[in-house]
Amino acid sequence: MIKAAILVAIIIAGLIFGPEVSGSKGYVLVAMGDYTIETSVSKAIIIGVLFYLLLLGIEWLLHKTLGISRQSYNWLRGRNVRKARKNTYAGMLALAEGDYKNAERLTANSATHSDTPLLNYLAAAEAAQEQGDNAKRDTYLKQAQENSDNSFAIGLTQAKFHLRQGQYEEAHAALSLLHNKQPKHQQVLKLLSETYQQLDEWQKLLDLLPSLRKAGLLAHDDADQLELTTYAGIFKQLAKQEGSHGLQVYWNKMSRKLKAEPSLIAAIGEQLITLDDHDAAKIILLNGIKKSAPNSILAVINQLKLPDYQDLINSLESGRKKFPASAALESAYAQCQLKAGNIEQAIKAYQAAIELTPNADDYYQLGLLLEQQGVISEAQQCFKRGLALSQA
């Protein structure tokens, strides 16, 4: 617009001043080295205007030519982007459908022109992982790192891959870094919980449990059960590392609420029995059946080997009077009587247990005792009924 205005102004000026200068043509001399150009003022003005018009024409031509080139470039670039989007979408669908070979090819090849190269490389890495090609998987993860500054997402993906392959140490290392960056990240917390369980890192899992509860990643009952499982794991580790004394010291420092949990009483009882400290196990187990007689504790009581079973018999007799009738309680009582050498009482207790809830093991033990007593026909009936129950 400005150029056109200048041109119009020059023409108008020529129309106004042309007649005046026509009578006095003037003189223009241009010297360039050994060359000189002589002309009148009017001719110089005309030549200048024509030269300016030539420049405008050249500019217009260049603008049109470059404009066409730019349009061609933008069209080609847009075509590549559209194709990349289409292939990325197809690759993601292939990944969801389990077609990992095509998923890898489509997402990796379209990553260069994709709007989301990070997602392309992560999807390609997952497809390679599913095909068992760890080398390609790691290459795609490296390319993802080079094409994005989102190291957190890449690290989380890598940790998931390690977990799938059972590489728990590597997963632990990656997740620890992520946890330091974002302690409240729910996916990191969940994966850390799984990793700690696989590595038997029970104390770390116990320390993580409040965060899992606060994040709402576990239902209340599930969180309570995980806590009990964690303590049972700690008992097992302490038994190996510190023996019976260390295990009992840890137990005594626990809260009353936890020490009243039947599963924990049974767990520490089993570890003490494994360490051949049956007396210490007996004390904890008998304290555990003062208010109830859970099957888990009774099952561990049956494993005790003592020089004198009278305290155990007395506790179980008390339980038979206080608690509802229980086949497990009768069976435990029968075993204690048998170990103490009281055959008649053991037979009666086994019969009471079978009457409450028929059990193949109880039938077998009763059959052996009856056979020892010479009651062969009844013993054979017990063996038959026990065998039928075991095959049912």
Q: Residue 374 and residue 378: Cα distance in Å, rounded?
A: 9
Other C-beta atoms lying within 10 Å of the C-beta of residue 21: 14
CB of 339 closer than 8 Å to CB of 331: no
The fraction of the chain above a pLDDT of 90, given in percent, is 57
Q: What is the pLDDT of residues 125-172, one digit of tens each?
A: 888 888 888 888 888 888 888 877 778 888 888 898 889 889 999 999
Give me the long-range contacts of 272-276 (CB less than 8 A, separation at least 24).
272/239, 272/244, 272/247, 272/248, 273/300, 273/303, 273/304, 274/239, 275/239, 275/243, 275/244, 275/247
CATH architecture of 309-392: Alpha Horseshoe (1.25)
Q: What is the pLDDT of residues 226-245, one digit of tens each?
A: 999 999 999 999 999 999 99
Q: What is the pLDDT of residues 269-303, one digit of tens each?
A: 999 999 999 999 999 999 999 989 999 999 999 99
pLDDT above 90 (res 210): yes
pLDDT at site 77: 52
The mean pLDDT value of the chain amounts to: 86
Mean pLDDT of all residues in 309-337: 95
Instruction: Provide the CB-side half-sphere exposure for 231 (13 A, CA).
Output: 21
| C-alpha gyration radius of the chain | 45
Q: How much is the pTM? A: 0.71
Mean pLDDT of all residues in 76-105: 79
Mean pLDDT of all residues in 44-57: 69
Nearest partner of 263 among 300, 237, 291, 290, judged by Cα: 300
Token couple for 221: 């009952």
Token couple for 239: 């038994």
pLDDT above 80 (res 107): yes
Q: What is the pLDDT of residues 247-272, one digit of tens each?
A: 999 999 999 999 999 999 999 999 99
pLDDT at site 13: 59
Q: Residue 375 and residue 392: Cα distance in Å, rounded?
A: 26
pLDDT at site 274: 96
Nearest partner of 232 among 274, 195, 280, judged by Cα: 274
pLDDT at site 103: 85
Q: Residue 247 and residue 236: Cα distance in Å, rounded?
A: 9
Using DSSP's 3-state secondary structure scheme, residue 382 falls into: helix
pLDDT band at 19 (very low <50, low <70, confident <90, very high): low
The fraction of the chain above a pLDDT of 70, given in percent, is 81
Mean pLDDT of all residues in 189-209: 96
Concatenated DSSP letters of 22-40: HSS---EEEEETTEEEEE-
Please give the residue that has the higher pLDDT: either 30 or 323.
323
pLDDT above 50 (res 75): no
Q: Residue 119 and residue 121: Cα distance in Å, rounded?
A: 6
